[in-house]
Amino acid sequence: MTNPLRPGDPARIGPYSLHARLGGGGMGQVFLGRSPGGHTVAVKVVHPDVAENPAFRRRFAVEVEAARKVGGFYTAQVVDADPDANPPWLATAYIPGPTLYEAVEGHGPLPRASVAALGAGLAEGLAAIHTCGIVHRDLKPGNVLLAADGPRVIDFGIARALDTTSATRTRTVMGTAGFMSPEQVRGGRIGPPGDVFTLGCVLGYAATGHSPFGEGPIEALGYRIVHEDPALDGIPAGLSPTIRACLAKDPADRPGLEEVLADLTAPAAAAGGDPGRPWLPEALTGIITHRTAALTLADTRREPPTARAARPKRKRRPDTGPDRTGPKEKRRSAPEPDGDAAGTELVVGNLSAEPLDVIVDGVAMGGVRAGGTRAFSPAPGRRSLLVEVPGRRGVVRSINVKADAAVKMAFDIPERRQAVPEPVREVVFTGSRLPTAGGMALLWILLIWGLGGLAAVGATAAGDVHPSVDVTEMLLVIAGLGLAAGAIVGVIGLFVPPSQLTLTHRRLKAGLPNGPKSLSWDRIGQVSVVGNGRTAMLVLWPSEGTSFGKGANAPEGTIRYTAKSIGAADEQSLDRLRAALRWFAGDAYVEQPA
């Protein structure tokens, strides 16, 4: 899945222009790029702080050389690289398919025939890698790409040549917990049988959705890998013997890759033997089809300065006051459309906490990050729009894309299990009724207890208490009255409507005890969320030349609502509130530093 470029991401690496993010990790970031001739590539860029390490640069050069040796039939073919650049980078052919990890986590374990086809393809690929004198040493679900014609092995970051003369480096414990061989855990010498063991781990994961040695701290995983039998429950019949043989503790007891390939060829034929039959389930084949068609992505970088200068500016009040300190962050505008779709624009707002994929007429256009907005440029006409969360298919909707006009749609995900994105015209935040009722009850209890206790003490001191009345009895009566009053007030409070804030394209509506009940956006010059957590506040400033009048409840004529009062006190709700304000308030919303 692709994600938009972020501020600070490079626009170009070497001769390649960058258009989106594909993924990344501790070593670097992978971008979707274009060559000058229009070919799509995946560009791996090393993090600058990592690149400062000479030892890592040597390892990166080894990765480049290893990938070049193997070629592109079993891996993502290297098309260009510069290990000596600052930062170092590597460009490979773009494989428009998910990783095995993405596929299993999003869609569940693979069926038996697909696992067999995966194993056969990986065995063939590893055999080719070993023929080049290389041991991969880090085969795992995240390093296996699922292409339409079979799996590809990627990331030779810790691969080592078989003819290495560095015994110390060969015995270094490097790999991914849960997908290491026993000799790798022990820090022993690693050869081709080590890749056979990790192949068994990967196939077990593909068939069951978890590593054969479970999860947990690396120490516990290492102990299980070295001393305990793998958990192979749930692996389909016919595959278990081969996977179990690959997971033998002693490298000498493991089968060779040729034997693994022979064992898996027959069941693999059921998945990919027919040239017209996909080897993967329909859902994963659909993802590959979408990504294959998505090689033309909208540029997600900032608009050019000339376009920004042409936009009229909204008048704002000066940035003063205790809650308005710090630099402001302005929203980036949608990119300018180009090509055949010039003049058309589809703007998608993501008000959910999960990233969304946008698909128009079956063509994957790209992703919209959680809480963000992104513009696309489909061709004019009646279009089929599908917005989905990876792993959860959405509902197809028809939109009419007109030339020189923008179609704007916001999507949110309801709070229910496996919910799909739904278009929204308003977003509602609701405070809790129970804390308010409980607070009112507690206040009355304390009030009556305090006044009654003072009266009892005063009466006793003055000698006004009848001798037959015990002071303790008086205090118990007062406590009972306080509890009864608190209960009555608490029950009444349950019938008081909870506080509520509603955001639409036209206005902000607040069902709150303070401030006006409704404000159109043209009356609001600026709106910001100030602070974080339970102390956060939603602050409104009036537009130039207007005021909130009696509705103002704070200095400078502002209106302030606590995040707690509108049910947005937790971090996820605050992120959703900020996303909704970006979408509905437009230029009136100004991001404040946390």
Cα–Cα distance between 539 and 189 in angstroms, integer? 63
Question: In this predicted structure, what is the pLDDT of residue 494?
Answer: 52
Q: Active-site positions?
A: 138
Determine contact, residues 180/119, Cβ cutoff 8 Å: no
- Other beta carbons within 10 angstroms of residue 572's beta carbon come to 11
Determine contact, residues 226/182, Cβ cutoff 8 Å: yes
342 closest CA partner among 368, 380, 301, 297: 380
Backbone angles phi, psi at 16, to 5 degrees: -105, 130
- DSSP collapsed to 3 states, 182-219: HHHHHCCCCCHHHHHHHHHHHHHHHHHCCCCCCCCCHH
Tell me the three state secondary structure of residue 17.
strand
pLDDT in tens, 218-243: 788 889 999 999 999 999 988 999 99
Residues of the chain under the 70 pLDDT cut: 1-2, 24-26, 72, 156-176, 269-276, 293-343, 391, 416-417, 431-498, 511-517, 534, 550-556, 569, 593-594
Pairing of strands 344-350, 405-412: parallel
Pairing of strands 160-161, 134-135: antiparallel
Question: In this predicted structure, what is the pLDDT of residue 473?
Answer: 64
Cα–Cα distance between 376 and 358 in angstroms, integer? 9
- Other beta carbons within 10 angstroms of residue 240's beta carbon come to 15
Cα–Cα distance between 182 and 199 in angstroms, integer? 13
Cα–Cα distance between 80 and 92 in angstroms, integer? 7
Cα–Cα distance between 97 and 80 in angstroms, integer? 21
Contacts of 328 (CB under 8 A, 6+ apart): 319, 590, 591, 592
pLDDT in tens, 17-53: 998 888 766 577 899 998 888 888 999 998 887 788 8
Q: Cα–Cα distances in Å, from 104 out to 25, 115, 211, 336, 364?
A: 19, 11, 12, 37, 20
Determine contact, residues 295/40, Cβ cutoff 8 Å: yes
Specify the amino acid at residue 558: T
Cα–Cα distance between 173 and 214 in angstroms, integer? 20
Does the annotation place 330 within a ligand binding site? no
Contacts of 481 (CB under 8 A, 6+ apart): 448, 452
- Supply the angle between the helices 100-107 and 192-208 in degrees, to the nearest 10: 20
Backbone angles phi, psi at 124, to 5 degrees: -65, -40
Rounded to the nearest 10 degrees, how much is the dihedral formed by the CA atoms of 56, 18, 347, 410?
Answer: -10
Question: In this predicted structure, what is the pLDDT of residue 322?
Answer: 34
Determine contact, residues 240/207, Cβ cutoff 8 Å: no
Determine contact, residues 106/391, Cβ cutoff 8 Å: yes
